[in-house]
Chains A and B, each alone.
Chain A
Amino acid sequence: MFFKILIANRGEIALRVIRAARDLGIASVAVYSEADRDSLHVRYADESVCIGPPISAKSYLNREVIIEAAKKANVEAVHPGYGYLAESGEFARACRDAGLVFIGPTPETLELAGDKIRAKAIINRAGVPVVPSSPGGVGSVDEAARFASEIGYPIMIKASAGGGGRGIRVCPDEEVLREDFPVAKAEVRAAFGDDSLYVEKCLVDPRHIEFQVLADKHGNVIHLGERECSIQRRYQKLIEEAPSPAVKPKLREAMGRAAIEAARAVDYLNAGTVEFLLDREGNFYFMEINARIQVEHPVTEMVTGVDLVKEQIRLARGDKLGYTFEDLNLRGWAIECRINTEDPDSNFMPSPGTIEEYNPPGGFGVRLDTHLYQGYALPIFYDSLVAKLVGYDLTREGAIRVLKRALQEFTIQPVKTTIPLYLRIVDDPAFQEGDIHTGYIKKFVPDEDDEEDE
């Protein structure tokens, strides 16, 4: 096993990795920006290194400084978390060149998965159905408009480089496309340091179903079942669950097989997620491979009993997968809410500030992954995701009850959070019946523009 690893991330995911490392008897090295001196990941890690100024481009996205920190701290491997450098082929290659194990896929696979257009073509050729999109990145707004009129509106502008909804815009017509294209480019550049965009046809109200996959260095690829992440706002997932109320055993088998084929087609290694859209007729379309651990991984862990981050570390070391999905005996239901410091009543505006009152929920069936604590001043520079709250029980109905209780117990003040929105959703009969789709949130949130022109 590794002796010491560096975690190239911050927030709850840095804590998640530090904890997994500790459970495996591995020492951890945290990195932090000047704005994160008081962050919990710095406190929980065995060692910590300051890597620069608050702006992510100069710290958490600074490959050279992070590699330097890893070498100095004498670690054997680097865990990138999600976001930041997690899907950077260049970073994975720099790790390799520095003699460090990158806990994730190979640089070649990252580059291929990151080139969403090429990945789709390759995976389509392997026999997995896909949603129509531009054959290459669109350089200019004119090119985007030309392609959009070819496949027909509504279309989506998406970032070639990353996830998390950054840069994604739905354009019902050309006018909106022309207005949003430059803003999407700016957002994507700031988030990923790469501003290429592409255009994709927008299906109406599909479900978002994704499969967790694991692949070892010995040619074994398995899936760990699906997560349903249909409750999203602007392609930012809000609520995720495993399993999906829409996936029956036969469909699970077909989609699981497709997920494994997709992973094999790009020579996948380590943990990854294969995302599909599922329509009402039960047709599924491959969207993309997320070549990282995902935010919503805990729901899979709860129903399979597999610690995915530990598996990532084991697989990076070269361990063999000794089991398949069939061996796992899927058990119960897990539902996660992403708690963001955003005001759901004010168009999800970010709500920075200091946490003056903090009371986390607890009890049977509750899992909380968070970096919050009483007195923590939320930096303005980073993501508004502050906690992931999971309710677990043997049935979906039971999981919803646990989740509701936990949401009621959870106090984070005085900043605004998405908790009140989730409290309304858990009481909604359609949600309780599992009748959800990617447009579901519109019921609760007006589908307005983010510019309030007063």
Chain B
Amino acid sequence: MGKRVEVRARMSGVFYRRPAPDEPAYVEVGDMVKKKQVLGLLETMKVFQKIKSPAAGKIVEIVAENETPLSDDDLVFVIEA
């Protein structure tokens, strides 16, 4: 059992799980991810930021829903590092 790592929104914005509506999601629950791997996008005032993995590990939970607004510091992903 690894360490639980939380990925939070660094500011309020709309969360996107996929690069485009017709493309697959960046990650799914159960995926192994590398450090700095792109997990999703956050759009704040028309600027897109990549949400990157802070650590290598496994995605155990995707808390935020696609295309929904998040508040500053909302939990987005949980990773088992």
Contacts A352-B11, A451-B52; A380 near B69 (Cβ below 8 A): yes
By the criterion CB–CB under 8 Å, are A185 and B20 in contact? yes
Write the chain B residue with the least CB distance to A56: B46
Cβ-based interface call for A134 (8 A): no
Q: How far is the CA of A42 from the CA of B11 in the complex (A)?
A: 27
Q: A182-B19, A186-B19, A349-B11 are in contact. Are A384 and B48 (CB under 8 A)?
A: no
Tell yes or no: A350 within 8 A of B by CB.
yes
Looking at the assembled complex, report how far the CB atom of B45 sits from the nearest CB atom of chain A, in whole angstroms: 4
Cβ-closest chain B residue relative to A195: B20
Q: Is the interface of B mostly helix, strand, loop or mixed?
A: strand
Q: Does A190 contact B (CB under 8 A)?
A: yes
Cα distance, A166 to B46, chains bound together (Å):
9
Residues of A within 8 A of B67 (CB): 55
CB distance from B8 to the nearest CB of A (A): 14
Task: Say yes or no: B46 contacts A384, CB within 8 Å.
Answer: yes
Interface size of A in residues (CB-CB distance below 8 Å): 27
Contact, CB under 8 Å: A383 / B19: no
Among B12, B20, B44, B46, the one with the most A-chain Cβ atoms within 10 Å of its Cβ is: B46
Residues 8 to 39 of chain B near chain A (Cβ within 8 Å) = 11-14, 19-20, 36
Would A190 and B11 be within 8 Å (CB), given that A54-B69, A182-B19, A453-B36 are in contact? no
User: Is B4 engaged at the interface, CB distance under 8 Å to the other chain?
Assistant: no
Q: Is the C-beta of A382 less than 8 angstroms from some C-beta in chain B?
A: yes
Chain B residues within 8 Å of A349, by CB: 11, 44, 47, 49
B48: which A residues are within 8 A, CB to CB? 183, 186-187, 190
A189 within 8 A of B: yes
**Any A CB within 8 A of the CB of B41:** yes
- Choice from B19, B20, B36, B47 contacting A350 with Cβ under 8 Å: B47
Interface residue? A381 (CB, 8 A): yes
Closest Cβ of chain B to A412, distance in Å, is 15
- Could you tell me the distance between the alpha carbons of A76 and B69 in the complex, rounded to whole angstroms? 36
Task: Give chain A's interface secondary structure class.
Answer: loop
Q: In the complex, A166 Cα to B11 Cα: how many Å? A: 20
- B50 to A: closest C-beta gap in Å: 6
In the complex, what distance in Å separates the CA atom of A341 from the CA atom of B47? 12
Asked if A55 and B49 sit within 8 Å, CB to CB, the answer is no
What are the residues of chain A within 8 A of B49 when measuring CB–CB? 349, 450-451
For the complex, what is the distance from the CA of A350 to the CA of B72, rounded to whole Å?
12
How far apart are A245's CB and chain B's nearest CB, in angstroms?
31
Q: Is the CB of A352 within 8 A of B46?
A: no
Evaluate contact between A383 and B11: CB separation under 8 angstroms: no
- Say yes or no: A381 contacts B41, CB within 8 Å: no
List A contacts of B47 (CB < 8 A).
349-350, 384
Q: Quick one: which of A186, A187, A341, A451 contacts B45, CB cutoff 8 A?
A: A341
Evaluate whether A382 and B52 lie within 8 angstroms (CB atoms) in the complex, with A189-B20, A350-B11 already known: no
Q: Which 10 A-B pairs have the closest CB atoms?
A: A350-B45, A384-B45, A350-B44, A380-B12, A352-B12, A350-B47, A186-B19, A383-B46, A380-B44, A187-B48
Can you report 29 A-B residue pairs in the complex whose CB atoms are below 8 A from each other?
A54-B69, A55-B14, A183-B48, A183-B50, A185-B20, A186-B19, A186-B48, A189-B20, A191-B46, A342-B45, A349-B44, A349-B47, A350-B45, A350-B47, A352-B12, A352-B13, A352-B44, A352-B45, A380-B44, A380-B45, A380-B69, A381-B14, A381-B69, A382-B45, A382-B46, A383-B45, A450-B49, A451-B49, A453-B52
Residues of A within 8 A of B (CB): 54-55, 166, 182-183, 185-187, 189-191, 195, 341-342, 349-352, 378, 380-384, 450-451, 453
